[in-house]
């Protein structure tokens, strides 16, 4: 079966939507669809805070309610425009549904109907296709994308800064990646034990273990080295060995946040040019078991990306998030320009499931790795867990191993592992 396979069409008899609260307490769109056999499928849109300039655009109400972040218009668009277009017809593939959504919206970035409405409909439709095909969602995704299934290395964001926390730390995410774990359940255990060891260290040293948006701690620290020392200590305290092939560290500085223009970056009160920024990262790579660096440079600074990729010479994973916004064309252009060797994959950045699969295919064709990702504003929807297994890309980040909306994804991964103990775990090397 391919994404265009006509083998198992869906027919929806109802499509409704409603506003629900996301993990930050702002409204987002939940969609509910009923199939002609009476089965109901649901999906909810996540929401970013540190968004790339070229992401698909959410529809927000403006005005006073929820500081302008209401989604009543996006919900109404699902019921008044999308439902009449989709309900009652037979749809042969997710590609066909997504194309209809795109045509109906009429813009390239879904700004009319809202990417928050469109992505939820596309995910619900994917669940409908999996149901009529008699497949679990991850297996349907594997078939639709022509991939081998694989359980991913979870990247647990245990310490938050940047746009996700109120502290003075400029780097946004510090993650723990149990690369050497034997399986998913063991990886989750390592992540949780390190998280608890880190909580103890932070309480002892800073008297507080307050949290950032993704469930990681947000102590009053400023310098990346202070955090990296804490992580290495916590990994050891939890009884594990820090190392690139054991329990590794991954960073998402989200450099847009501290880019000052003209190739200059300001972190921890220090202004650095591109070359100094490259040297700073190389020093950190030397001193700590870091395996992956996401958005180490700003989306508008391709020279910085090229300088980093040249200096790293393939020794580290360099991931583009805001840089590519899950857009197949941007990924291809970035690969041709030598910007990075990996891509972050977020369905709501590009708008639909079939475009997300196209982004993964584009990255693969260019020889780049992928990491599937949540957003800082999340719901209990676990689509990305099935997406990462079905596409077999081998890496996911879904925040801390704590808080319901974050662990929902890790718990779904462990459920898939229990149901399919034969699936391999780990990086797709
Ligand atoms: C990121 C994401 C998710 P946001 O920068 O990678 O961690 O943050 O959803 O706020 O864009
Ligand atoms: Mg990022």
C-beta separation of 375 from 349 below 8 A:
no
DSSP-derived pairing of the beta strands 290-294 and 317-320: parallel
Tens digit of pLDDT per residue, the chain (429 long)? 444 453 699 999 999 999 999 999 999 999 999 999 999 999 999 999 999 999 999 999 999 999 999 999 999 999 999 999 999 999 999 999 999 999 999 999 999 999 999 999 999 999 999 999 999 999 999 999 999 999 999 999 999 999 999 999 999 999 999 999 999 999 999 999 999 999 999 999 999 878 999 999 999 999 999 999 999 999 999 999 999 999 999 999 999 999 999 999 999 889 999 999 999 999 999 999 999 999 999 999 999 999 999 999 999 999 999 999 999 999 999 999 999 999 999 999 999 999 999 999 999 999 999 999 999 999 999 999 999 999 999 999 999 999 999 999 999 999 999 999 999 999 987
Output the CA 270–ligand 2 centroid distance in Å: 22
Q: What separation in angstroms does the CA of 391 have from each of 130, 364, 394? A: 14, 11, 8
pLDDT tens digits along 169-211: 999 999 999 999 999 999 999 999 999 999 999 999 999 878 9
* 355 alpha-carbon distance from chain centroid: 15
Q: Which ligand is nearest to the CA of 399?
A: 1
Query: What is the set of active-site residues?
Result: 214, 346
CA distance 31 to 368: 33
Specify burial of residue 25 (Cβ count, 10 A radius: 0-12, 13-18, 19+): exposed
DSSP letter, residue 164? G
Q: What's the 376 CA to ligand 1 centre distance in angstroms?
A: 5
| Ligand 2 centre distance from Cα of residue 249 (Å) | 15
Using the atom order of ligand 1, give the atom closest to the CA of residue 214: 7
Q: Residue 86: phi, psi to the nearest 5?
A: -100, -35
CA 74 vs. chain centroid, Å, equals 22
Task: Judge whether 82 and 121 are in contact, CB under 8 Å.
Answer: yes
> How far, CA to CA in Å, does 35 sit from each of 15, 89, 129, 267, 304?
9, 11, 10, 52, 49
Closest residue by CA, ligand 1 atom 4: 48
Q: What's the 321 CA to ligand 2 centre distance in angstroms?
A: 5
Query: What is the CA(50)–ligand 1 centre distance, in A?
Result: 6
Atom of ligand 1 nearest to the CA of 163: 10
DSSP conformation class of 77: H
CA of 294 to the centre of ligand 2 (A): 6
d(CA 228, CA 215): 18
Strand ranges across the sheet with 27-35 = 40-44, 27-35, 10-21, 90-91
Q: Which of 49, 50, 347 best tests ligand 1's pocket when mutated (most atoms within 8 Å of CB)?
A: 50
- DSSP one-letter string for 388-427: HHHHT--EEE-S-S-SHHHHHHHHHHHHHHHH-TTS-BS-
Q: Which of 23, 46, 252 should be mutated for ligand 1, with most atoms under 8 A from CB?
A: 252
Distance CA 145, CA 139 (A): 10
Cα–chain-centroid distance for residue 289?
22
- Which ligand 1 atom is nearest residue 254's CA? 5
Helices 115-133 and 137-145: crossing angle in degrees, nearest 10, is 100
- pTM for this entry: 0.98
Distance of alpha carbon 291 from alpha carbon 280, whole angstroms: 15
Q: Which numbered ligand comes closest to the C-alpha of 376?
A: 1
Q: What six digits make up the tokens of 78?
A: 């699902």
Question: 92 phi and psi, to 5 degrees?
Answer: -85, -25
- Compute the distance between CA of residue 210 and CA of residue 124 in angstroms, rounded to an integer: 35
Task: Take atom 2 of ligand 1 and give the residue whose Cα is closest.
Answer: 375
Could you give the domains of the chain? 10-134 (3.30.390.10), 145-419 (3.20.20.120)
Q: Give residue 325 CA to ligand 2 midpoint distance, Å.
A: 10
Kindly state the helix (H) or strand (E) to which residue 372 belongs, with its residue range. strand 369-373
List beta partners, residue 273.
264
Distance of alpha carbon 295 from alpha carbon 10, whole angstroms? 39
pLDDT per position as a tens digit, 281-302: 999 999 999 999 999 999 999 9
Instruction: Assign 315 to helix, strand or coil.
Output: coil
Phi and psi torsions of 217, nearest 5°: -75, 155
Q: What atom of ligand 1 comes closest to residue 397's alpha carbon?
A: 7
- Phi and psi, residue 210, nearest 5°: -60, 160
Please state the atom number of ligand 1 nearest to the C-alpha of residue 173: 7
Angstrom distance (rounded) from CA 284 to CA 152: 25
Best probe residue, ligand 1, of 376, 397, 398 (max atoms within 8 Å of C-beta): 376
Ligand 1 site, CB within 6 A = 48-51, 173, 214, 252, 254, 321, 373, 375-376
DSSP 8-state code for residue 59: P
Pocket test for ligand 1, best of 155, 213, 295, 321 (most atoms within 8 A of CB): 321
Which token pair is 242?
Answer: 């820090």
């Amino acid at each position: 079966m391919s994404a265009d396979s006509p083998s198992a069409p869906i027919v929806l008899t109802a499509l409704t939507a409603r506003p629900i609260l996301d993990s930050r307490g702002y409204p987002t769109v939940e969609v509910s669809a009923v199939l002609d056999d009476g089965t109901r499928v649901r999906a909810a849109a996540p929401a970013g805070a540190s968004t790339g300039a070229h992401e698909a655009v959410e529809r927000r109400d403006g005005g006073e309610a929820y500081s302008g972040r209401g989604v009543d218009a996006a919900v109404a668009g699902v019921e008044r425009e999308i439902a009449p277009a989709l309900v009652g017809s037979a749809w042969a593939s997710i590609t066909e549904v997504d194309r209809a959504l795109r045509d109906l919206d009429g813009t390239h970035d879904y700004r009319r109907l809202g990417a928050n409405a469109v992505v939820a409909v596309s995910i619900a439709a994917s669940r409908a296709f999996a149901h009529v095909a008699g497949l679990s969602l991850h297996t349907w995704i594997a078939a639709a994308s022509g991939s081998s299934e694989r359980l991913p290395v979870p990247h647990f964001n245990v310490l938050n800064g940047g746009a996700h926390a109120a502290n003075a730390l400029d780097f946004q995410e510090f993650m723990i990646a149990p690369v050497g774990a034997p399986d998913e359940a063991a990886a989750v255990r390592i992540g949780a034990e390190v998280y608890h060891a880190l909580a103890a260290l932070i309480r002892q040293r800073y008297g507080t273990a307050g949290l950032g948006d993704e469930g990681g701690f947000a102590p009053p620290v400023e310098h990346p080295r202070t955090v990296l020392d804490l992580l290495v200590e916590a990994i050891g305290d939890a009884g594990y060995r820090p190392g690139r092939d054991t329990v590794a560290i991954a960073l998402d500085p989200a450099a847009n946040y501290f880019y000052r223009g003209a190739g200059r970056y300001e972190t921890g009160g220090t202004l650095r040019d591109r070359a100094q920024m490259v040297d700073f990262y190389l020093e950190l790579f030397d001193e700590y078991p870091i395996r992956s660096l996401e958005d180490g440079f700003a989306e508008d600074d391709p020279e910085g990306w090229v300088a980093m990729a040249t200096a790293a010479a393939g020794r580290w994973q360099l991931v583009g998030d805001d840089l590519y916004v899950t857009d197949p064309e941007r990924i291809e252009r970035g690969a041709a320009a030598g910007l990075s060797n990996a891509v972050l994959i977020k369905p709501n950045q590009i708008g639909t499931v079939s475009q997300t699969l196209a982004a993964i295919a584009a990255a693969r064709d260019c020889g780049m790795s992928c990491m599937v990702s949540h957003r800082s504003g999340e719901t209990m929807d676990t689509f990305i867990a099935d997406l990462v297994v079905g596409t077999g890309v081998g890496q996911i980040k879904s925040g801390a191993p704590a808080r319901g909306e974050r662990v929902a994804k890790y718990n779904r991964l462990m459920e898939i592992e229990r149901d399919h103990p034969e699936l391999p775990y780990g990086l797709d090397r």
